[in-house]
Amino acid sequence: MTLTIVRMRRLKFIENGLICGEKMNRKTFVIAMTFLLVIASLAYGQVLRPSATVVSGSSFEASIDTEAEYSNGSLGSQYEGLALWYDWINTNGTQIIFLAYYSQLLNPPIITFMGQHYYTDNGTEVFVGNTLTAMEVYNDTNGNGLPDADYAAGTGEILYGFVVNSSVSFDITPIEKTIVNGLPHYKWGIKYQTIDGFLSAENYSASFTVTVDYMDFAYDFYVENNVSYLKTNFGIGKIMNATSSYGSMGEPISLDGLSLALLYGTTVVTSRPYVTVVDGNQYNSTTAPASVQSASLGEIKIDAVTAYKFVFGQDYTLYRDTGQETHESKSTAVSNQSVSGGLERLSWIITDLETVLSSLFPKISNLQVAINLEYNVSSFLYRVCYPVWDGCKLQHDPTYIAYLNAGIVPELSLPLMFIIVAAIVSTVALAGALIDLSKTRRTLRASSRVPTAPVP
């Protein structure tokens, strides 16, 4: 009630000012309108200015400046324990957040998260996140290029979970903005080098230690018209020193003939119901059977309109000692039944990611939801597969596409409407007053030059 009365008084003030302006002393009127314009402008800026996000918790106490067009930084202390590196982009009505573990003290798990927040063309709010949940080594015995797996039945072609950590060093490439063909491109990345890892069978019947030359994650994000493109570049170096973890001899093993798969979990939050579509058919990982089929296109659709695309099937480059080769990557939608139960033992890894996102999300979204990155609640799990691998170095660059609202207009509340109207009215009134005052001054100057008659 009090707020309504104040608004009415303010509107009445404007009305009275316009009606009585001519009766006021022009100088006083100009000062009053100038004051109103300044107040309106300052208030307008305060209403539209987004607030910075503060990430707080037992491990992470840092801030992400959501006002910035782009920024990078550390969440938590890399010198005290496990920390997260973040990259933030805010452009063309969409926001990108990238998170990756790193540390100068501990052996960081190589788990990454990429999320995008935006509005679709019909005004639906969307948040889509992709988490690199696991890597797997499989033996493609049936030659379809995919890791057939049914853990509920205890069968499948996946031989080992591939865990990578303990990188000796890492290089971070902060976001760099460049202009390419008239479009702003935002590029960044992180590269882990000389990595200790291990291959572990589901039932622990076999375990092998390996050294990975490097793992590289690089990104290029840009918006063209109302479509955003996130080009990712994943690289993994040659696998070296693969030996058995059991026995004093450390017997070497061969990765010849084995394939590599990356398992991703997808987090989707929308203000309206959505469905996941794989190659034209609806798909939900929480209810799908364990059957495996190749996927070339994944989509998130809202009211039968595509809001987000996962473009699969691009070629990848394999580097052998004798030269490089080009092969077609494979992808498949994944049922929960086709995911190793061992991932549940690693659920603690994503807790810090959820902490950061749960703090960030309310600051950039009108949706009040908790961010859950657990694989078993994801409606869309998928594997990106490299059928020809043999432990060699490879490079691959899949693309993610989002369809944005071409002209997002923030919803105007009554205070904001008043401020805008006040600013416009003040500007017009001020301009008119200044013109009128200028004319009056010219008239006065002209009158002062008229000669006066001599006094008789």
User: In sequence order, which ranges of 334-413 are alpha helices (DSSP H)?
Assistant: 351-364
Q: What is the mean pLDDT of residues 314-318?
A: 95
Look over the chain and give the mean of its residue pLDDT values, rounded to a whole number: 77
If asked whether residues 111 and 36 sit together in one domain, one would say: no
Question: What is d(CA 168, CA 21) in angstroms, rounded to the nearest whole number?
Answer: 74
Total domains in the fold of the chain: 2
Q: What is the pLDDT of residue 294?
A: 87
In a 13 Å sphere around the CA of 25, the CA atoms on its Cβ side amount to 3
Question: Would you place residue 291 in the very low, low, confident or very high pLDDT band (cuts 50, 70, 90)?
Answer: confident
- Is residue 124 a contact partner of residue 105, using CB atoms and an 8 Å limit? no
If asked whether residues 202 and 293 sit together in one domain, one would say: yes
Which parts of 201-226 are beta strand (E)? 207-224
Q: Is the pLDDT of residue 203 over 90?
A: no
Q: 259 in a domain, yes or no?
A: yes
If asked whether residues 191 and 169 sit together in one domain, one would say: yes
If asked whether residues 100 and 156 sit together in one domain, one would say: yes
User: Which of 50-54, 360-364, 438-442 comes out lowest in average pLDDT?
Assistant: 50-54
Question: Would you place residue 181 in the very low, low, confident or very high pLDDT band (cuts 50, 70, 90)?
Answer: very high
Q: What is the mean pLDDT of residues 279-304?
A: 91
Residues whose CB falls within 8 Å of the CB of residue 356, separated by 6 or more in sequence, listed in order = 55, 60, 75, 84, 86, 99
Range of the domain at 425: 2-47+415-445
Q: 336 in a domain, yes or no?
A: yes
Check residues 293 and 4 and name the one with the higher pLDDT: 293
Q: Is the pLDDT of residue 48 over 50?
A: no
The model's pTM: 0.74
If asked whether residues 43 and 59 sit together in one domain, one would say: no
If asked whether residues 308 and 215 sit together in one domain, one would say: yes
How far is C-alpha 168 from the geometric centre of its chain's CA atoms?
A: 28
- Is residue 391 a contact partner of residue 15, using CB atoms and an 8 Å limit? no
CA torsion sign for 389, 345, 101, 94 is: positive
Q: 191 in a domain, yes or no?
A: yes
If asked whether residues 247 and 264 sit together in one domain, one would say: yes
User: Which of 172-181, 265-274, 418-427 comes out lowest in average pLDDT?
Assistant: 418-427
Q: Is the pLDDT of residue 208 over 90?
A: no
pLDDT tens per residue, range 56-73: 344 454 478 888 999 999
Check residues 307 and 345 and name the one with the higher pLDDT: 307
Per the document, the length of the chain is 456
Highest mean pLDDT among 59-73, 204-218, 273-287 belongs to 273-287
Q: What is the mean pLDDT of residues 18-34?
A: 43
Q: 173 in a domain, yes or no?
A: yes
If asked whether residues 131 and 210 sit together in one domain, one would say: yes
Q: Is the pLDDT of residue 14 over 60?
A: no
Question: What is d(CA 114, CA 94) in angstroms, rounded to the nearest whole number?
Answer: 13
Q: 452 in a domain, yes or no?
A: no
Q: What is the pLDDT of residue 256?
A: 94
If asked whether residues 384 and 436 sit together in one domain, one would say: no
Q: What is the pLDDT of residue 180?
A: 96
Check residues 333 and 28 and name the one with the higher pLDDT: 333
pLDDT tens per residue, range 113-135: 999 999 999 899 999 999 998 89
Residue type, 196: D
pLDDT tens per residue, range 338-366: 887 666 666 777 888 888 898 888 888 98
Q: What is the mean pLDDT of residues 41-52?
A: 32
Residue type, 240: M
Q: Residue 53: phi, psi to the nearest 5?
A: -95, 130
If asked whether residues 131 and 19 sit together in one domain, one would say: no
If asked whether residues 246 and 283 sit together in one domain, one would say: yes
